[in-house]
Amino acid sequence: MRVMGLSAIQPFLTILTAILFLDSSTALEFPHELVNEILPEFTNAAQSPISAPYSPAQSPSNENPSPLTPALFVIGDSSVDCGTNNFLGTFARADRPPYGRDFDTHQATGRFCNGRIPVDFLALRLGLPFVPSYLGQTGSVNDMVRGVNYASAGAGIIFSSGSELGQHISLTQQIQQVMDTFQQFILSMGENAAYDLISSSIFYISIGSNDYIHYYLRNVSNVQSLYLPWNFNQFLAQTMKQEIENLYNANVRNVVLMGLAPLGCAPYYLWLYSSANGECIEVINNMILEFNFAMKYMVEELNHVLPDANIVFCDAFEGSMDIIKNHDYYGFDVTTDACCGLGKYRGWIMCIATNMACSNATNHIWWDQFHPTAAVNEILADNVWSGQHTSMCSPMNLKDMISRNGKQ
């Protein structure tokens, strides 16, 4: 294993110190400028072709003349952000190498991964192009009729989750952007055509991790004394229920809601809790299990009371634990250490430089402190699509949903 010298680590320590001790208003308003000032070589990298923002034209030629669904709309956090945060003042950015090094274009697009994120693989399955970021497209209806990705790294179900990282688009704000998009559709194609497009499309929601990472586990506003984990999960589930009902009232009918992956196994928490042998942090995973249970129950309720609703819950915890426990079968040699980072389990400092990354990410489960590699994303996407490896979606998988809609 390569060990970095003090001179190589010093810039990262400088950034860490600046984040902790710089005047808070400066750090939160212009964090990207802070990083560029401390590590100017990153600015040059960001302006080079390898870090050019992703555009739909760069995606592989995967659009089918007759896709299985009209469009794919994505709401969420860094698990599915495809470039929203490239346009925001935030520390939560993935617009520089080594992010994207194994992506189709070998460019840092804003995806928090070495390659594709789950919705990229699902777009291929659906016969659609990679979905563009809401902030990264021109705003024309032609750019959005095949889908839009509203996801923003750092976002949570709670409005203020992740705010210490800088700007982000919260769940509520993303839902408002969805409504704005719908208004554009109605004005452009008329109500009937717009409602038909909306009701026939797939809405993929993946959010909630930051409500733990940047809110509950940090005990922001003394939240742990006000809410036990179960009560906190119930609050999150009820908030999500209201937002899904808002989408339903706007004629959305097909929703895939992702549960949370086992955060207690993430390299950051292995480092923070000083895991001795790479064992997952049980107290955190128990919270995630409760969250997923609450979300699954909420989905069952909504399917029961909302006519024509097809809402699917997919348990990312179950799918991820299957990968971790059967890592040899899936071809993963490294199950605890991130491919990119510093410190024990490479979980201490986030991935911010190319020389912090391993040479081969395909045999790693974790790409950085919190995010899986593209190889894991593909397996999870296969499970969402058809339960190919693990049946983790209820009451049906996405393929079944498409088939069911086709028969109606």
Phi, psi of 115 (to 5 degrees): -150, -125
382 is catalytic: no
308 is catalytic: no
Burial 117-127 (b: 16+ CB within 10 A, else e): bbbbbbbbbbe
**Measuring CA to CA, which residue among 209, 46, 102, 398 is closest to residue 111?**
102
Tell me how far CA of residue 360 lies from CA of 9, 102, 334, in angstroms.
21, 10, 11
Out of 163, 206, 371, 382, the active site residue is: 371
Q: What is the DSSP letter of 111?
A: -
304 is catalytic: no
**Measuring CA to CA, which residue among 107, 106, 74, 79 is closest to residue 92?**
79
Tell me how far CA of residue 90 lies from CA of 28, 206, 266, in angstroms.
7, 20, 22
Out of 77, 102, 211, 368, the active site residue is: 368
Out of 51, 78, 209, 320, the active site residue is: 78
DSSP string, 249-286: HTT--EEEEE----GGGSHHHHHHTT-SSS---HHHHH
Contact (Cβ atoms closer than 8 angstroms) between residue 385 and residue 393: no
Neighbours of 228 (CB within 10 A): 11
Contact (Cβ atoms closer than 8 angstroms) between residue 339 and residue 284: no
Residues linked to residue 72 through DSSP beta bridges, in sequence order: 202
Residues known to be catalytic: 78, 368, 371
